[in-house]
Amino acid sequence: MRRTAALIVGGGPAGSAAAIRLAAAGAQPVMVERHPDGDALCGGFVSWRTLDRIAQLGVDADALNRDRLTRVTIFAGGRVREAMLPRPAIGVSRRRLDILLRHAAMRSGVAIETGATVRHVDGLTAHLADGAMIAADALFLATGKHDLRGLARPASARGSDPTLGIRVRLSPAPALRRLLDGQIELHLFDRGYAGIALQEDGSANLCMAVHRSRLQDAGSPADLIASLGRELPRLGERIAHLAPHATVDAIANVPYGWRQRTGTPGLFRLGDQAGVIPSLAGEGMGIALASGIDAAEAWRIGGPAAATAWQERFARRLARPMAVAGGVRRIAESRWSAPVVAMMPAALIQVMAHATRMTP
């Protein structure tokens, strides 16, 4: 059995942020990631505040995507509302973001073990698929929306009609760029919503949060996408750029609105393992990076024993943005979305954009 002062399970934004800051504090952390070149299911929206955090970690925003998103456009039942974002943001694939953040971690001296799968955790000891074990004084759990045996989030967090995340890529095309250039779009519909933004290679990321009952009505994820394209003409215009036989990625039982409110000595839950904000807020990656940075600072000051108080404190920081995002989500998925959007001034959209950000 190996032993390390700080073990990070997961090499996404939360894990890399923690690794970079832990290395700067002299921890010599070990990070394990099962997918060396994966592309996690994610909306791909990086807000203005998140760009500031990424810069602090040594990654230039232009290396992610030189194009900026300056507007948000909301579509609901034939109604359209547009507002300027408080500051420019970007769309980026998770593959690109994860690779650049891991490179920054390696430059910081972090030991990264890719292709290593953690099967379960017992206390602060990780059991790998090859039979190896890594014991840690402090464990930083950064597995995103995927639960790990031994540390799974409660099944009750999923609700009676659980939400699924669905993602497809729309092929690069001049017509698609004309539709989406400079903006993030939200398309609202019964029991779900879709977000679309251009990414660094000119493709578009179409990511949906859909209740299981809506998917069951349609049949399959591909059937749902096709039916939404017929039901919502503007969304259908974007879906027309879906490549034939395109891969549909999906993840079940996403516990939107859940927060880890209590802590455990030595265990720092990061990103979606700390709290899952509704994806229409576009703050999932912001929470991931903020949690990694903040948890590493707590470790620097108080060591593994700081985990309990830190987790409870971070849950309080999440309370406001998650409450606002939850309220917006309930309206977005209801039959009231169209009349609400029709009456919504641009200034209110900007207020909500501010209110769903993590505090600095």
Position 39 scores a pLDDT of 82
Token pair for 165: 């995340």
The pLDDT value recorded for residue 189 is 94
Amino acid type, 7: L
Of 221, 173, 165, residue with least CA distance to 42: 165
| Residue 41, pLDDT above cutoff 90 | no
Q: What does DSSP assign to residue 200?
A: T
| pLDDT tens track for 75-93 | 998 899 999 999 999 999 9
What confidence score (pLDDT) does residue 351 get?
86
Query: Is the distance from CB of 72 to CB of 183 less than 8 angstroms?
Result: yes
Three-state DSSP at 264 gives strand
Higher pLDDT, residue 326 or 158: 326
Contact between 47 and 89 under an 8 Å Cβ cutoff? The reply is yes
Angstrom CA distances, 154 to 31, 112, 148, 259, 291, stand at: 25, 29, 12, 11, 20
Q: What is the pLDDT of residue 246?
A: 84
State how far the Cα of 157 lies from the Cα of 215, in Å rounded to an integer.
Answer: 19
Encoded amino acid at 310, one letter: W
Kindly state the helix (H) or strand (E) to which residue 163 belongs, with its residue range: strand 163-170
CA R_g for the chain:
20
Q: Tell me the pLDDT tens digit for each residue of 262-288.
A: 999 999 999 999 999 999 899 999 999
Q: What's the rounded Cα separation, in Å, for the pair 278 and 220?
A: 22
Q: What is the pLDDT of residue 335?
A: 84
Q: Residue 3's beta-bridge partner residues?
A: 135
Eight-class DSSP state of 136: E
Residues in CB range of 125: below 8 A, 6 or more apart:
1, 133, 134, 135, 136
pLDDT classification of 214: cutoffs 50, 70, 90: very high
- Separation between Cα atoms, residue 354 and residue 351, nearest integer Å: 5
- DSSP-derived secondary structure letter, 58: T
Residue 319 clears pLDDT 90, i.e. is over it: yes
Q: What is the mean pLDDT of residues 306-326?
A: 96
Band (pLDDT 50/70/90 cuts) for residue 322 is very high
| Residue 140, pLDDT score | 98
Helix (H) or strand (E) holding 192: strand 192-198
Residue 347: is its pLDDT beyond 80? yes
Residue 188: beta bridge partners? 76, 193
3-state class of 273 per DSSP?
helix
pLDDT band at 51 (very low <50, low <70, confident <90, very high): very high
Query: Sign (positive/negative) of CA torsion 195, 199, 202, 205?
Result: negative
Tokens of residue 69, six digits: 């998103």
- Whether 38 shows a pLDDT value over 80: the answer reads no
Q: Across the chain, what does the average pLDDT equal? A: 93
Residue 343: what pLDDT?
Answer: 83
pLDDT in tens, 129-141: 999 999 999 999 9
pLDDT reported for residue 42: 87
Q: Which letter does DSSP use for residue 223 in this model?
A: H
In tens, the pLDDT along 179-212 reads 999 999 999 999 999 999 999 999 999 999 999 9
Tokens of 48: 């203005």
Write down the pTM of the prediction. Answer: 0.95
Residues above pLDDT 90, as percent of the chain: 82
Structural domains in the chain, CATH included, are 2-157+255-355 (3.50.50.60)
First to last CA, the chain: 39
Query: What would the DSSP string read from start to end of 310-333?
Result: HHHHHHHHHHHHHHHHHHHHHHHT
Lowest mean pLDDT: which of 145-149, 268-272, 312-316? 145-149
Residue 258 has which token pair?
A: 């859940």
Instruction: Using the predicted structure, report yes or no on whether residue 37 has a pLDDT greater than 80.
Output: no
Alpha-carbon distance of 355 to 134, in angstroms, equals 40
